[in-house]
Amino acid sequence: MSETLAIEVIYALPTKQQLVRLQLPTGSTVRQAIEASGLLQKHPEIDLTRNKIGIFAKLGKLDAVLRDRDRVEIYRPLIADPKEVRKQRAAEGKVMKKGAGDSEGE
């Protein structure tokens, strides 16, 4: 087993992605990788008590121990609730279908 880990830490912004590659000691945690990445200084909006994090798109915890070649992802809060957006789209679709059906039947 190697003494260092090759880790990527990613923070995606609306227009670009910040990617930092690190070499960390074996046994390092997600929190240590994020702190070592410098992204907290570059992006003060990141709040580790509120932002969710993941490893390869699976939600994780800050105290999770990393494995070699892990990709730590820092997620931004959602602007809109996906469930609400789907409900709105479904409601709009029903209205449109009803309107189209009425005009064809006459």
pTM of the model: 0.73
pLDDT, one tens digit per residue, over 16-64 is: 999 999 999 999 999 999 999 999 999 999 999 999 999 999 999 999 9
Please give the Cα distance from 44 to 8 (Å, whole number).
19
* Among 93, 47, 45, 53, residue whose Cα is nearest residue 71: 53
pLDDT, one tens digit per residue, over 60-104 is: 999 999 999 999 999 988 776 778 778 888 877 766 555 555 444
58-60 vs 53-55, strand pairing mode: antiparallel
Please give the Cα distance from 31 to 40 (Å, whole number).
11
Residue bearing tokens 């990527």: 8
Residue bearing tokens 């609730």: 81
- In total, the chain counts a number of residues equal to 106
pLDDT at position 106 is: 47
